[in-house]
Structure 1
Amino acid sequence: MVKPLAFKGEKPKKRKRTTKDEAGDSKEDGPPNPPKTVATTAATTHALQQQQQAEDAAEDENWVSAEHLSDIAGPIMFVLPTSTRSPPHPPTSLSVDQLGKVFAQKIENLVEGLPDSAEPHDVRQVWIATRVVGSEGDFTFKGHHGRFLACDRFGLVTATREAMGPEERFCLRPVGAESAAGGEGGGNGLFEVQSGRGTYISAGQGREEEDADTALPEVRGDAEEAGENTRIRIRMQARFKPKHKVEKAEKVRAKISRKELEEEVGRRLDDEEVRKLKRARREGNYHEAMLDVKVKGKHDKFA
């Protein structure tokens, strides 16, 4: 092959490489493109975490019935005992308007008309419950307009005062077998709301109207004895309930991946060992179960 003319001592010329050649060489000689498995796995994990967070947030916003005095805190809803009247009235709530007038309002958010499934559809139905410091069962209830629920000596229930006084203080008495023995409540979600004068808030028959099915009861605070008219159901947000908080903490504590368990043990685990450790993490004996798994691994190694 005839070579091009070259002089002695002349440095050979470098061949210019085009972008196309470099691209071709990189495909032929270079390492293959890294797999997208890692990125895909990370994206999937992130999506699952976001979905779980959304589900937890939705669960926190659910409304449940208060079972004990220790449950009551934060936003609540009073469901009046109107569904047992004759003729029966639709379930109603204790509501307040912007001027402080307290009235019974029909509840729209119900499942099959059951009072224990009631949720507020109007901000006027929501009260903020706060326990009085140093008391056993005394609470104050603030409406959406920033004023406290009160009952005067005539039995008139209003919410017009911004400051708390004796008339703005109520004692909640759980309805149930345990309440008579000084317990926290019967667990049925029913309470009696007693004013500072010893009278109870009740939902009476109200004035006569043409359509009895749509008639709303009258809210009074002068009932001297407890009865069916004074048994009020208290609904609250799940995130303020102590039992819900404990269950949520246990759920978070139980969340641990197989990879994390294997890293802590120092070897690969079978399915039964993973289930055992996760169950122990939920039940609170995680460290003992982890020690048993580690000891078992050492015995198998030297067997």
Structure 2
Amino acid sequence: MPSRLSFKGDKKVHKKGRKSAKSLQSAVESQENDPIWTDANLVEDIHGPLVLYQRLDTTVISLGIEEVQGSCVGIFLDPLSLEPDNTRQVFVASDMNGNVVLKSFLMKYLSAGKEGDLFSKREAIGAEEQWQLQYLHDGYWAWKSMSNNKYLECLLNENDTYVFRCTSDTVTFTSKWRVRVQTRFVKRPSIQNIKQPTVHSQQLEAMVGRPLSSDEKKILKQASRDGSLHEALLDVRVSKKSDKYG
């Protein structure tokens, strides 16, 4: 099994110190099982390392860069993990005036010529290096070149090899892409940002089964905001019983 690619900012398994073999193995297994890659579903997810791929029957093909010439080639992607094992199939995305630029492992940008040819040979950014990203549906994306206003597509030629070009005027099956991104760049709402529903005093008194003092109301409302209302209600009920029989 090929080793997982590592990127700047990835969590590392620290091997220094006197950690037991069991705890170290647990840390390694946790790293291996963590879902580092996921499909992008929001424009905000398109940032940092990514892989452009298409599912074709039982085959998953990704857009890659040829090491010597800098031309585009097809590189197979594991159909189960959908995790890249070759740096040639990974690009780093960044924003450029509302468009997207993709830098390859050659440290040069993915470009589309006027005739639709693709390559990664330039260090400067112009219209040929900029892409307009369009979300379609169900995790599918279209990449439109700002050079010739054509869509990036994956084609199978007569020699059964995959060819990548920007020649499509409209979005078709061959120009629908999925984008694999790292989970650390995916925007997800945190628990702190999820607003808890407001609980009114009358509702709290109905839950307890008696009138509440102002202090008890404050405690229960704070517990509701913290997500621990159930435990706080039990404490209030137990406290009342203690006062009654104490």
Q: Same fold (TM over 0.5)?
A: yes
Deviation at 1:285, TM superposition (A): 3.6
**Equivalent position of 2:66 in the other structure:** 97
The one-character-per-residue Cα deviations of 1:136-172 (angstroms, maximum 9, x if unpaired) are: xx21111112111111111011111112222111111
2:94 corresponds to which of 112, 124, 130? 130
**Equivalent position of 2:174 in the other structure:** 229
CA RMSD of aligned residues (A): 3.4
**Equivalent position of 2:79 in the other structure:** 110
Distance in structure 2 (CA, Å) of the matches to 1:69 and 1:61? 20
**Equivalent position of 2:85 in the other structure:** 121
Distance in structure 2 (CA, Å) of the matches to 1:218 and 1:296? 71
> How do residues 177-196 of structure 1 correspond to structure 2 at under 5 angstroms?
188-196=138-146
Deviation at 1:299, TM superposition (A): 1.5
2:43 corresponds to which of 69, 77, 86? 69
Distance in structure 2 (CA, Å) of the matches to 1:204 and 1:142? 22
Deviation at 1:61, TM superposition (A): 4.8
**Equivalent position of 2:209 in the other structure:** none
Name the structure with the higher helix share.
1
Deviation at 1:90, TM superposition (A): 2.8
Distance in structure 2 (CA, Å) of the matches to 1:55 and 1:236? 21
In the superposition, the TM-score normalised over structure 1's length comes to: 0.56
Deviation at 1:220, TM superposition (A): 0.4
**Equivalent position of 1:173 in the other structure:** 134
**Equivalent position of 1:259 in the other structure:** none
TM-aligned CA distance change 1:201 to 1:48, over 3 Å: same
**Equivalent position of 1:295 in the other structure:** 236
In the superposition, the TM-score normalised over structure 2's length comes to: 0.67
User: Alignment identity in percent?
Assistant: 21
Kept in 2: contact 1:95–1:125 (CA 8 A): yes
The one-character-per-residue Cα deviations of 1:31-69 (angstroms, maximum 9, x if unpaired) are: xxxxxxxxxxxxxxxx77994x65664455532111121
Q: What is the number of residues matched between the two proteins?
A: 196
**Equivalent position of 2:165 in the other structure:** 220
**Equivalent position of 2:107 in the other structure:** 146
Kept in 2: contact 1:157–1:220 (CA 8 A): yes
Name the structure with the higher strand share.
2
Distance in structure 1 (CA, Å) of the matches to 2:142 and 2:114? 18
Distance in structure 1 (CA, Å) of the matches to 2:49 and 2:41? 15
> How do residues 32-71 of structure 1 correspond to structure 2 at under 5 angstroms?
51=26, 57-58=31-32, 60-71=34-45
SS of 1:91's partner is: strand
Kept in 1: contact 2:53–2:177 (CA 8 A): yes
TM-aligned CA distance change 1:153 to 1:91, over 3 Å: same
For 1:189, the aligned partner's letter is G
Alignment of 1:79 onto 2:47: no
Distance in structure 2 (CA, Å) of the matches to 1:284 and 1:232? 42
Higher mean C-alpha deviation, range 220-229 or range 90-99: 90-99
The one-character-per-residue Cα deviations of 1:187-206 (angstroms, maximum 9, x if unpaired) are: x2210011103210011232
